[in-house]
Amino acid sequence: MARIRKRLFFFDWPLFLAVAAIVVLGVLNLYSATSASGGSRSDIYIQQIYWLTLGAGLGTLAVAIDYRHIERNAWVAYVGGLVLLVLVFLVGRQVRGSQRWIPIGSFYLQPSEIMKLVLIVALAKFLHHDPKIEGRALKDLVAPGMILAVPMALILAQPDLGTAVVCALIFGTIMLLTHLKLRALFTLAAAFILSAPLTWTYLLKDYQRGRILSFIDPNTDVLAEGWHTHQSLIAIGSGGFWGKGFKLGTQNQHHFLPDQHTDFPFPVWAEEQGLLGACLLIGLYMFVVLWGLKIAAQAKDRFGAVTAVGVSALVFWQVIINLGMVMGLLPVVGVTLPLFSYGGSSVIAIMVGLGLLLNVSIRRFSF
Amino acid sequence: MVLFSPRRDLGEFRKRYKWMGLFAALLFAVILTRLIQLQVWDAEHFRTLAHQNITQTQTLPASRGLIVDTERRLIAGNEPAYDLLVTPSLLGAPGVQERLVALLNLDKAGADLLQSRIDALPVYRRNHQVLALRNIKRDQLAAVEAHRSELPGVEVRAVAVRHYPFGSLGGHAIGYLNEVSKAEIASQPDTYRLGDLGGRFGVERMLEAELRGARGFRSQLVDARGRILDELVVARSRGALPATQLNHRPPAPGADVQLTLDMELMRVIRKLVSPYPAASIAVVEAQTGMVRALYSKPSYDLNEITGFMSQDSYDALIKNPHRPLIDRTLYETYFPGSTFKPVTALAALADGLVDPKAPIHCGGYHELGNRRFRCTHVHGDVDMQQALGQSCNVYFYKLAEIIGVDRLAHYARAMGFGEPTGIGLDNEASGFIATREWYEKRYKRPYRSGFTLNAAIGQGNTRASVLQIAMAYAALSNGGNLLRPSLVERITSHDGEPIFTFTPTVRQRLPISHAHLETMLEGLRLTVADRSGTAFDPKRKDAVSAGGKTGTAQVTGLGGRSEDDPLAWFFRRSHAWFAGFAPFNNPEFVVVVLVEHGGSGGRTAAPIGLEILNYATKKRAAARLAGGAPDGSHS
């Protein structure tokens, strides 16, 4: 009992409340985003509440277990994640030209969302057992690089560019946490720049190239790719300072926003709640990210620190890419806004990830 | 103990968190800056775009006012037709546009036109309807209606097209409609939009402002696919919209116009000139200036030329050697020839330069220096009235030497020559009356009185339009009032309010005494009534008393045509003129007849003119018997 009371004392209320606030605003926003569709999607916010509840349950589990147990089973989780990614190709369902989902009853599991989290844990496990004081050379990056490369290749093959990019960014953030030798850094940067044309020609699909082209020059094909961004900007901009009011966003209600409930929930929010509401939401995300870094800094061991940085990076990059995309700063890639976008796999992965973050936070003084 | 702390190996990470936090804060700052840019600095711009997105303004066209003649026969009306509208965002589904093109049975040009109309719409308005094809045919309409469910975003709208029951009759005076130019839209952006029709030439142009009315509009709320949203949604969304921007204005129909033209008389005229390829006739009320007929031949079918004319029809008009596009009543000018002689006579009388009873000898020609100015034949001794009746040139050559060119010009201007009549139609010609100063400037040498001789018989450099001559003769016959001609008798707003009712306007009084007018007019009576008069017809019995003047105007050059033109012989023939009025003692009607290349005025133009006068006066008399003069006439 005393232990539990001690845990409750260390419980990270600021992080918990910030996440709870995002969850509540997210559900309200989904309710508005789908209310326009007249029936077909109007129960989506209810489903989201189911996922959030399930996610909260799994997240509580992730808080409750001592994360050293997780560290011990990290490779099992990693292999499990890879198996799911392979399964996608065997029993997966094709939607809009890409194969990302495994049907389980009426639910579609998206393993790439789970994989982001598993990747963090696997990298944390690797670095936990690979402490280096004198700095890492290029050859020291081969092993963690492989940990990234296998799932990333599978995700790119689906194809799911957005998730692959997020995985790469999480990996990059985690590796920058370690002490890289300058030479290694420069070599990596040079390799990245040199590989860009090859990636463009061989790795990217036509529609992905189109999105990037229409981002560079919005006039190329406004109807197809740039159209979404254009309408998104109108939604955000027309919201103005005060917003149009809950469920009164015309861009949203009149279906000018594409995928309001998945990729474009932020324009709905910004249109209806204005600059004030948008700043509140961005402030909450920023708090979660910086708080996560603080948790990492105070973590007791390398696994905890890397996990905390990884989860923060996951939230950070998804938020930045999604907002950058809907504000016309980045090309349109399918990256969801954590806890705001509809999607079971994403919600569960994020909730479990935040659970791990809380776990690391609570156990910063224990052992 | 510290050495064995689990935190020992965390040293590798230690310095990084601060930089990561800073980097994260920096990217969030970029996002926030962008957010402020969008939601504060550019908010107004995006609000406008958002509003444009969801409102579709449906134009409610105004019906154009009717044009009727003096006896209320319909001259220009509106008939139902069908326009094809498309909503490009709905048409985007694969194959829909191809299907539409196939159903409409469009050729390459038609398909291109459709595409260009769709492409003309800016991308952000692609969920708005655009006029794709105007006035589709019945079988096209049937095809679209039958396959309605396969053609999302295609709509047929019932509209009105201008219809002219009289076809080509009076085409130049009535005018027609075609698409307004970009310049017109730019100068009147509130009135015109791309694709609008506007009046061209004639009354349609002159009274464009009155006839066109004002379009109405209705704003509707639409969604991204161009579907019109039901009232419930509209009501819900209204809270987020500026209240004034969802409104509805009914169209204001144009005013109805009653013209002074008598289309029955026009028909009679058409029949009378049927043997001749090109002619021009004006019939004017002598006392009021109301224009009863304004006929220019050849003409064009207004129903064919209005709206969109096929290239073939247009080419045919351009290639016609008699130039149907030229309005011969008031745009084209001619040598008035002998119809001008009353001006010369009055100039001499008014300034007391000649005794009208004093005979002058005509030996068939008049010599000036080493030049001979010819007459039609040897008239012997003629006084002024005989000279007018028999159209003796020598008499007027001699008067010209006495009068001088500037005095002649002064009196010609007093009778309205050299300036537009003010009927109000576009492109009205001024004609030309030369002065001594002009001759000296033009020929750069001392003035020669030969110019005056030619001017005195309506040749040389004298140019006048048919309508100008008609108004001059109206002034001569009505006691000296130079009137402004009018085609418009009455304009009535759609709900019956009178906007304009004709009243005669006197432009000026002739500076000539009544006695002098009487003296001159007697000469005009002799033209018709005297056995030796140029318009005398022994078979003309039981006809109204009339006065008039014939003219046979020589043609100089071929009007730009080649000598090898197979019609060159025709275009070298003289123009035949007749200008007259009736009844002689109480003139009601003035007629001017020009038969292009008709040869002798007396033989070709005068019978037509007299027949018109006969018809018009008899009809007026019959109307008077039947119970009062016809609507609007002043008798």
B402 pLDDT more than 80: yes
- The predicted structure's pLDDT at residue B521: 94
Q: Is B246 on the interface with A (CB under 8 A)?
A: no
CA closest to A299 among chain B residues: B7
Measured between beta carbons, the chain A residues lying within 8 angstroms of B38 are 233, 236-237, 327
As a whole number of angstroms, the distance between CA B144 and CA B104 comes to 7
Q: Do B38 and A233 touch (CB under 8 A)?
A: yes
- Give the end-to-end CA distance of chain B in Å, rounded to a whole number: 132
Tell me the pLDDT tens digit for each residue of A331-364: 888 899 999 999 889 999 999 999 999 999 988 8
- CA triple B250-B252-B256, angle to 5 deg: 155
What is the distance in angstroms between the Cα of B153 and the nearest Cα belonging to chain A?
17
Mean pLDDT of B608-617: 96
As a whole number of angstroms, the distance between CA B485 and CA B470 comes to 9
Residue B137 lies in a domain: yes
Q: What is the CATH number of the domain that holds B92?
A: 3.90.1310.10
Cis status, amide bond into A159, omega within 30 of 0: yes
The ipTM (two decimal places) reads 0.93
Residue B119 lies in a domain: yes
Residue A247 lies in a domain: yes
Q: Do B13 and A241 touch (CB under 8 A)?
A: no
Residue B234 lies in a domain: no
Measured between beta carbons, the chain B residues lying within 8 angstroms of A249 are 240
Tell me the pLDDT tens digit for each residue of B65-88: 999 999 999 999 998 888 888 887
Q: Is B119 on the interface with A (CB under 8 A)?
A: no
Residue A6 lies in a domain: no
Find where tokens 């989780």 sit.
A77
- CA triple B299-B301-B307, angle to 5 deg: 125
- The predicted structure's pLDDT at residue B226: 67
Decide: pTM greater than 0.90: no
Range with the poorest average pLDDT among A3-17, A337-351, B2-16, B587-601: B2-16
pLDDT category at B629 given cuts 50, 70, 90 is low
- The predicted structure's pLDDT at residue A35: 75
Q: Do B46 and A316 touch (CB under 8 A)?
A: no
CA closest to B92 among chain A residues: A223
As a whole number of angstroms, the distance between CA B545 and CA B346 comes to 22
Measured between beta carbons, the chain B residues lying within 8 angstroms of A294 are 17, 21
What is the rounded radius of gyration, in angstroms, for the C-alpha atoms of chain A?
21
Q: Do B24 and A238 touch (CB under 8 A)?
A: no
Q: Are B207 and B175 in contact (CB under 8 A)?
A: no
- The predicted structure's pLDDT at residue B160: 83
Q: Is B557 on the interface with A (CB under 8 A)?
A: no
Residue B112 lies in a domain: yes
As a whole number of angstroms, the distance between CA B528 and CA B536 comes to 5
Task: Report CA torsion sign: A349, A350, A355, A358.
Answer: positive
Residue B426 lies in a domain: no
Measured between beta carbons, the chain A residues lying within 8 angstroms of B46 are 233-234, 236-238
Residue B620 lies in a domain: no
As a whole number of angstroms, the distance between CA B5 and CA B310 comes to 96
Q: Are B167 and B301 in contact (CB under 8 A)?
A: yes
- The predicted structure's pLDDT at residue B171: 93
Find where tokens 């209600």 sit.
A253
What is the distance in angstroms between the Cα of B116 and the nearest Cα belonging to chain A?
17
- The predicted structure's pLDDT at residue A44: 86
Domain count, chain B: 1
Q: Is B45 on the interface with A (CB under 8 A)?
A: yes
As a whole number of angstroms, the distance between CA A364 and CA A10 comes to 9
Q: Is A227 on the interface with B (CB under 8 A)?
A: yes
Q: What are phi and psi of B575, to 5 degrees?
A: -80, 140
**Cα–Cα nearest to B174, from B294, B70, B63, B56:** B294
Q: Which residue has the higher pLDDT, A274 or B9?
A: A274
Task: Report CA torsion sign: B460, B461, B467, B472.
Answer: negative
- The predicted structure's pLDDT at residue B5: 44
In terms of residue numbers, what domain contains B128? 78-164
pLDDT category at B215 given cuts 50, 70, 90 is confident
Q: Which amino acid is at B442?
A: R
CA closest to A302 among chain B residues: B10
Q: Do A254 and B222 touch (CB under 8 A)?
A: yes
Contact residues for B293 (Cβ-Cβ < 8 A; gap 6+):
B170, B261, B262, B265, B266, B269, B281, B282, B283, B612
What is the distance in angstroms between the Cα of A152 and the nearest Cα belonging to chain B?
24
CA closest to B236 among chain A residues: A248
Query: Which of A132, A278, A290 faces B24 most closely, judged by CB atoms?
Result: A290
CA distances from B249 to B59, B231, B502 (A): 9, 18, 32
Find where tokens 């003084």 sit.
A365
Tell me the pLDDT tens digit for each residue of B154-211: 888 888 889 999 999 999 999 999 888 888 888 888 888 877 889 988 999 999 999 9
What is the distance in angstroms between the Cα of A259 and the nearest Cα belonging to chain B?
13
As a whole number of angstroms, the distance between CA B423 and CA B411 comes to 21
Residue B450, both tokens: 């030969």
Q: Is A141 on the interface with B (CB under 8 A)?
A: no
B543 pLDDT more than 70: yes
Query: Which of A178, A300, A327 faces B34 most closely, judged by CB atoms?
Result: A327
Query: Which of A132, A248, A327 faces B38 most closely, judged by CB atoms?
Result: A327
Q: Which amino acid is at B589?
A: F
Q: Do A250 and B53 touch (CB under 8 A)?
A: yes
Q: Which residues of chain A have pLDDT under 50?
A: 39, 222-223
In terms of residue numbers, what domain contains A341? 14-362
Q: Which residue has the higher pLDDT, B98 or A26?
A: A26
Measured between beta carbons, the chain B residues lying within 8 angstroms of A233 are 38, 46
What is the distance in angstroms between the Cα of A328 and the nearest Cα belonging to chain B?
9
Residue B436 lies in a domain: no
Q: Is B605 on the interface with A (CB under 8 A)?
A: no
Residue B273 has a CB neighbour count (10 Å cut-off) of: 22
Q: Are A347 and A51 in contact (CB under 8 A)?
A: yes
Measured between beta carbons, the chain A residues lying within 8 angstroms of B92 are 223
What burial class does residue B186 get, using C-beta atoms within 10 Å of its C-beta: 0-12 exposed, 13-18 middle, 19+ buried?
exposed
Q: Is B10 on the interface with A (CB under 8 A)?
A: yes
Domain count, chain A: 1
Residue B631, both tokens: 């609507």
- The predicted structure's pLDDT at residue B141: 86
**Cα–Cα nearest to B346, from B416, B433, B412, B287:** B412
B225 pLDDT more than 80: no
**B residues 302-321 lying closer than 8 A (beta carbon) to A:** none
Q: Is A39 on the interface with B (CB under 8 A)?
A: no
What is the distance in angstroms between the Cα of B111 and the nearest Cα belonging to chain A?
22
**B residues 570-589 lying closer than 8 A (beta carbon) to A:** none
Q: Supply the DSSP string of A28-66, one letter for each residue.
A: HHHHHHHHTTTTTTTTHHHHHHHHHHHHHHHHHHHHHS-
What burial class does residue B369 get, using C-beta atoms within 10 Å of its C-beta: 0-12 exposed, 13-18 middle, 19+ buried?
exposed
User: Mean pLDDT score of chain B, rounded to an integer?
Assistant: 87
Q: Is A274 on the interface with B (CB under 8 A)?
A: yes
**A residues 321-360 lying closer than 8 A (beta carbon) to B:** 323-324, 327, 329
Residue B90 lies in a domain: yes
Residue A240, both tokens: 């103005």
Residue B32, both tokens: 């926030």
Q: What percent of chain B has pLDDT over 90?
A: 53
CA closest to A283 among chain B residues: B28
- The predicted structure's pLDDT at residue B243: 42
As a whole number of angstroms, the distance between CA B602 and CA B532 comes to 11
Q: Is B42 on the interface with A (CB under 8 A)?
A: yes
Size of interface A-B (CB pairs under 8 A): 157
- The predicted structure's pLDDT at residue A258: 74
Q: Do B53 and A251 touch (CB under 8 A)?
A: yes
pLDDT category at B306 given cuts 50, 70, 90 is confident
* B1, B14, B20: best to mutate for the A interface, most A CBs within 10 A: B20
What is the rounded radius of gyration, in angstroms, for the C-alpha atoms of chain B?
36
Measured between beta carbons, the chain B residues lying within 8 angstroms of A230 are 124
Tell me the pLDDT tens digit for each residue of B114-161: 888 877 777 666 767 788 887 788 888 888 888 877 787 788 888 888
CA distances from A123 to A170, A327, A345, B12, B222 (A): 10, 32, 21, 15, 51
B308 pLDDT more than 80: no
Mean pLDDT of B94-112: 80
CA closest to A296 among chain B residues: B17
B566 pLDDT more than 50: yes
Residue A164 lies in a domain: yes
What is the distance in angstroms between the Cα of A83 and the nearest Cα belonging to chain B?
32
Q: Do A131 and B123 touch (CB under 8 A)?
A: no
Q: Is A270 on the interface with B (CB under 8 A)?
A: yes
B233 pLDDT more than 60: no
CA closest to B89 among chain A residues: A223
As a whole number of angstroms, the distance between CA B416 and CA A341 comes to 84
Beta bridge partners of B55: B221
* A176, A179, A229, A234: best to mutate for the B interface, most B CBs within 10 A: A234
* B7, B8, B32, B35: best to mutate for the A interface, most A CBs within 10 A: B35
CA closest to B48 among chain A residues: A238
Q: Which residue has the higher pLDDT, A215 or B330?
A: B330
Residue A367 lies in a domain: no
Mean pLDDT of B468-493: 96
Residue A329, both tokens: 């700063």
